Chain A
């Protein structure tokens, strides 16, 4: 019995380590390639550690992608904050102020989160142009905010659903109105909800590509577009795209490693029935 148990455990650990290697392999390759000098990069020695380390790739990658990085930062921060506020208010209404047709309206809003964005691309493009918002970061932020409404409302709605009705009722007894309840009861309990939504939206916006390439001019290109450009051309020396990839992955990876717990919650909230 004891013997069998140990054997089983061994298999579990072996499998876990093997899978871990598979999952870490790409990041290993990225880092060692980024640290190599272009002349030392060849297909045959791709897996070997760099002989002498070249930090210059990162400086060079930052030189080209720096502006894109800042664009993405402005975009993601502003759009995420606004998204979170809108989502919180919507979630509050959807969960605590069940207006007539609440569920059907909520379902109709949720639908917006599952559409392939190609279906709205052409009109979105035309409307942004008419609003004089085409090409810059504000237009892109608007798109992210609007199409972020379903997911942020969903996460907050599910989150607020757990706040007991009795608390709301007793606040109403004390004469609190719509905003009073929000300020005194909902908001103080909202912190984890905000963290989940902010992490989720930030990651989504940071990683987005289709709108980035169709809705912005060169100077407003987000990091994903910059990286695609950097890696897409001739890609003769791979150290640069690899360093660029690390740069583009850096903020989301940090968030993920520090606050992975909330990230998972965001992920799970993404499934409607949750």
Chain B
């Protein structure tokens, strides 16, 4: 029904945006990948026309196994923990808040406003405020003294303790075991849902991975010359709490929208089945919230994988204990002038985010097509 000339106008309207996105997103990603394969850095980096030579994957090699780049590896570990804890914390608290509000208490909108306002703030504002709250000898640590208890001594932002330590040299084996376990889980699920043949097939990679991890790995060369411990730095706890404080309102809003979308009939049916409130949420509501959970995981993971401002505001860019590849990228690129390595860090971050985003976008695309 649409006229051809109008369709051309439509295309012309869209075209500038498409070109801009093409250049600024895809073109720039390509350029960063290219820079990460060069040696652009150090002394000559600041010259008007810097010299660049392609050196292949050397920057990546250094990041993952170079003697001097242990900070990057710890940052990577930190990023994984930031993501893990922010996502699970915000999901858990958000769900609790949503269920509380779903009960229709008086003053619901006031409560909702209170839980959501942190979301409107800048990371710099939140970071500044929480840095003061988490000061080693004040703030939160002094709260117990108000009721006569001794002050807390925990160093929220500058503990040098670290738990769940592992040796970076063992990373390939650890990865193999984790992936193997994932395959085992898939095999189990398939087995249970009656796909016995597929279940057996899924067991094959499990066995290969586990066998290699437990026995074969001895014959592959070490990635580092010396053992190097990495783990969950307790100094990140303060930042994690702050991030959860800021984002649990968001998951609450998502979940609340989901809960409100459940039809009265379904609730009634559950009630007639003799389910109490607890059972209703556990067996009826939470499964319905699955798409919200997926969306929230994607958004939160993507936020925590590029976390820069919050860390900058709370512990400063130079604090290696709480650092993140996003912070290291900034320092490496703009302070140490090592553009190539900075680009390589950015690419690693990008790949980590893409692992979450691409399947999500593809499934959204399929849904729209359907």
Interface, chain A (partner B; CB < 8 A): 8-9, 12-13, 15-16, 19-20, 22-27, 29-30, 33, 42-44, 46-47, 86, 89-90, 92-94, 97, 99, 103-112, 114-124, 127, 146-147, 149-150, 153, 169, 172, 177-179, 203, 206-210, 214, 224, 227-228, 231-232, 235, 238, 241-242, 244-245, 248-249, 252-253, 255-257, 260, 263-264, 267-268, 270-274
Contacts and interface: CB of A to CB of B under 8 A. Distances in A.
Given A42-B138, A209-B123, 10 more contacts: A43-B137, A46-B138, A93-B10, A118-B326, A118-B329, A122-B346, A123-B35, A228-B312, A248-B122, A249-B122
A179 B9 contact: yes
Given A29-B129, A121-B346, A20 B114 contact: yes
Interface in B328-370: 329-330, 333-334, 339, 342-343, 345-347, 349-350, 353, 357-358, 360-362, 364-365, 367-369
B193 interface: no
B120 A255 contact: yes
Contacts of B334: 214
B118 interface: yes
11 contacts: A23-B115, A110-B364, A111-B357, A114-B353, A120-B25, A121-B346, A172-B2, A209-B312, A245-B125, A253-B117, A267-B119
Contacts of A244: 128
A252 B121 contact: yes
Nearest to B343: A122
Interface of B: 1-3, 5-7, 9-11, 13-14, 17-18, 20-21, 24-29, 31-32, 35, 96-97, 100-101, 103, 105, 111-126, 128-133, 135, 137-139, 142-143, 146, 245, 249-250, 253-254, 257, 277, 291-292, 294-296, 298-299, 302, 305-306, 308-309, 312-313, 316, 325-326, 329-330, 333-334, 339, 342-343, 345-347, 349-350, 353, 357-358, 360-362, 364-365, 367-369
A59 to B, nearest CB: 19
Contacts of B100: 12, 15-16, 19
Contact of A90 (B17, B343, B350): B17
Contacts of B114: 20, 23-24
B97 A122 contact: no
B257 A116 contact: no
A104 B361 CA distance: 10
Contacts of B125: 207, 224, 227, 245, 248-249
A119 B111 contact: no
A203 B120 contact: yes
B330 to A, nearest CB: 7
Nearest to B345: A118
B291 to A, nearest CB: 6
A79 to B, nearest CB: 14
Contacts of B20: 146, 149
Nearest to B110: A20
A125 to B, nearest CB: 9
Contact of B349 (A94, A105, A118): A118
B132 A249 contact: no
B52 to A, nearest CB: 12
Nearest to B113: A260
A268 B362 CA distance: 19
A117 to B, nearest CB: 7
Contacts of B121: 207, 249, 252-253
A270 B217 CA distance: 44
A30 B118 CA distance: 13
Looking at B27, B117, B245, B302, the one whose CB has the most chain A CB atoms below 10 A away is: B117
A148 B277 CA distance: 42
A124 B343 CA distance: 12
A127 B139 CA distance: 45
B9 A214 contact: no
Per CB-CB distance, the 5 closest pairs between chain A and chain B, nearest first, are: A43-B138, A207-B122, A271-B295, A116-B306, A209-B309
Nearest to A270: B299
A109 B32 contact: no
A180 B79 CA distance: 50
Contacts of A94: 14
B24 A116 contact: no
Nearest to A26: B129
Contacts of A172: 1-3
Nearest to A176: B6
A256 to B, nearest CB: 4
A97 B7 contact: yes
A104 to B, nearest CB: 7
Contact of B31 (A122, A224, A227): A122
Contact of A104 (B101, B133, B135, B365): B365
B131 to A, nearest CB: 7
A99 B10 contact: yes
A58 to B, nearest CB: 15
Contact of A231 (B291, B294, B313): B313
Given A97-B6, A264-B253, A231 B118 contact: no
A29 to B, nearest CB: 6
A26 B25 contact: no
Contacts of B326: 116, 118
Contacts of B32: 119-123
A44 B120 contact: no
B132 A29 contact: yes
Contacts of B113: 257, 260
Nearest to A226: B124
B17 A86 contact: yes
Given A123-B28, A149-B20, A116 B10 contact: no
A178 B9 contact: yes
Given A43-B137, A149-B20, A228 B25 contact: no
